[in-house]
Structure 1
């Protein structure tokens, strides 16, 4: 009898558990699966460091079950931000994939305003680029051996104080950002140095790059405020070099008008003199 009684108790317990699962747990599970929520989904390919625009993303309704907690649910959260990872159409965006600022290795490219340009020059030997010690923010002078095939090694006045904005290895990765790496043994040597210059300076650098070696000598490394003083001094030099040409052109134009007036007056005088002689 006790055996049958135990079996009956077990049977009742199983029935109760099945009822709980059917009428309590299962509806809750189904409700969780059927719940909908809005998330932001990528509709155009987005590259690392690229600014996210409104046409790259859209809001879609999906099932709320098993979504990451940090999934972005509003386009206002992502538009105007920068991608910190590559994203393809169909991806949903999570907070770790966006940033307020572009990636460190690309930040300097987003600070260009149109007044100045970024141009890279080759570091053709280890010594040419200060033995791999140059960093972003350094102020350097550009030394041109055999400048314009004249047999002289000079620092062109246009390139006396130039700001370094990137030092890049052959792999395309920034070699020296000024940050200390934990694995210094795998540090890559610089292959190019990117400089922040005016259009006039970029043309001179392009000529030097085509003609031969370029050497870079470090002028200053330190506080940005002090570095800005060197840049300002270079701008003053450029104004002195290029501004007089414009002023000379203006003076020539202004001087040319009276000159034409005088010549025309002389022609009129000669013509009147001829007429008088004919009358005489």
Structure 2
């Protein structure tokens, strides 16, 4: 029995199942003594090597943590998986025109505001973007008579600040717009845009996609985006310099 106790080593074990891209915190793990024959040779024994790192793959409750299951940055991970770990969904919407998508100048990770013109009046949920625009509220809700219906441009509270996932051209490839092209290149104009959203935002966007015309406005890019969306809610921020 004494010999067996000498063989015990420390190992870090996860207490709950986590998806790919999850931030590992102290509450998720435990340090236990275990026979080395029962754990992987590369099992981590120091809590400091585990906490505040990200899961590179799904890790199941009771698994011992190893270096190949963890990463220091999210850049190597699939953005879709990172979104899932943050409780977000990915929704694609149609861009009715080049102008509606900021003339092809948007990039993944950008923060945008989504506006919509609808042919059916909705409950007024417009909101100006900042206090200085309080006197410009009419620009957020401009009405134009179209026959027997009324089109109303709105900025919805839940769609004020949304992170861009990707932009796709008509052939399904990644959209690309450049001011300087070689003879062999051509612009791939975006026709759809995919966004990281909550369930509430996804429902609103699906409704607007069917009932109205969507228009995007650029808000921020890179580190400036933190002013509008906390880093812990963003997906693409790990790719910033």
TM-score by length of structure 1 reads: 0.41
CA radius of gyration, larger in:
1
Structure with the larger RCO, 1 or 2 (CA within 8 Å, 6+ apart): 2
Q: Which has the higher strand share?
A: 2
TM-score by length of structure 2 reads: 0.46
Q: Which has the higher helix share?
A: 1
